[in-house]
């Protein structure tokens, strides 16, 4: 009875942890996609503004502004990629920590179940031995009483 309760608790804990991990991964993926989309929009806006300003000015200023626009765009993409790498590392660490916690919980629960089963088996064996001893003692007492009564 205790074993079934413990198994049910373990299953519920594992399911909850798996659901939490899935939710965290989905949220992080959505955040990463949103941040990458917003950074690409910002870089495209800066590139378009620099290209429009370069078209208004002369050829010399247009070349310098277009080169600066490409630099700013490149910087935005590198920062967004570094942000994505940081987010991926954080998510990986979170998943590893959750998996380690789940493994520890499962191991502890299995150890507790084994200990409970061993204790229950030992108690049942002791109870059976005590019953046998009591029956043997009662039979011996009855035999002694019968022998004494017959001898008298």
Residue 114 lies in a domain: no
d(CA 42, CA 75): 11
What sign does the CA torsion over 42, 48, 52, 53 have?
A: positive
Residue 65 lies in a domain: yes
Residue 6 lies in a domain: yes
Tokens of 9: 């608790």
Residue 45 lies in a domain: yes
Range of weakest confidence among 23-27, 78-82, 103-107: 78-82
Domain that holds residue 74: 2-107
pLDDT digits (tens, 9 = 90+) for 12-66: 777 777 777 777 777 777 777 777 666 665 555 555 555 544 444 454 444 444 4
d(CA 112, CA 117): 9
Q: What is the pTM of this model?
A: 0.46
Residue 76 lies in a domain: yes
Name the domain count of the chain. 1
Task: Assess contact for 32 and 47: CB atoms under 8 A.
Answer: no
Q: Give burial (CB, 10 Å; 0-12/13-18/19+) of 144.
A: exposed
Residue 38 lies in a domain: yes
Residue 86 lies in a domain: yes
Residue 73 lies in a domain: yes
């Amino acid at each position: 009875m205790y074993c079934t309760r413990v198994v049910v608790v373990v299953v519920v804990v594992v399911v909850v942890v798996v659901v939490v991990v899935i939710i965290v991964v989905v949220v992080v993926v959505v955040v990463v996609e949103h941040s990458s989309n917003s950074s690409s929009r910002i870089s495209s806006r800066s590139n378009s503004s620099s290209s429009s300003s370069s078209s208004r000015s002369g050829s010399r200023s247009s070349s310098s502004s277009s080169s600066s626009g490409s630099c700013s765009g490149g910087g935005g993409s590198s920062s967004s990629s570094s942000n994505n790498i940081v987010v991926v590392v954080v998510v990986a660490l979170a998943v590893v920590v959750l998996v380690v916690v789940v493994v520890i919980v499962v191991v502890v629960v299995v150890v507790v179940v084994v200990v409970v089963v061993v204790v229950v088996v030992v108690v049942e064996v002791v109870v059976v031995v005590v019953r046998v001893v009591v029956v043997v003692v009662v039979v011996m007492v009855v035999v002694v009483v019968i022998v004494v009564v017959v001898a008298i």
